[in-house]
């Protein structure tokens, strides 16, 4: 299984709307590892690790689940980090 990692910054009205809990549920359904957390500038950071197609499906599903809240996303490819064994909400 080829593993990849991506950092996705979700911009918009993404805090205080259940975003992290929704992202956590969806990421677990796609068997991803990593985390989701609020950032101080009002955006949300998601670090997703797993198969590239699972990461793509997870991001698409998050956007579908929260229409109207996300105005932009910024994506960065990263090397996988073996320290992430599960998907967590961090605060």
**Residues annotated as catalytic (active site), given as ranges:** 20, 38
Dihedral, 38, 39, 41, 46 alpha carbons, nearest 10: -80
* Nearest CA among 37, 50, 40 for reference residue 6: 50
């Amino acid at each position: 299984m080829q593993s990849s990692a991506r950092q996705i910054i979700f911009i918009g009205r993404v805090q205080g709307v259940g975003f992290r809990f929704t992202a956590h549920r969806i990421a677990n359904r796609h068997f991803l590892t990593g985390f989701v957390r609020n950032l101080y500038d009002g955006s949300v950071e998601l670090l997703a690790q797993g198969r590239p197609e699972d990461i793509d499906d997870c991001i698409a599903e998050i956007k579908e689940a929260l229409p109207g809240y996300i105005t932009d996303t910024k994506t960065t490819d990263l090397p996988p980090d073996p320290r992430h064994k599960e998907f967590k909400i961090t605060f």
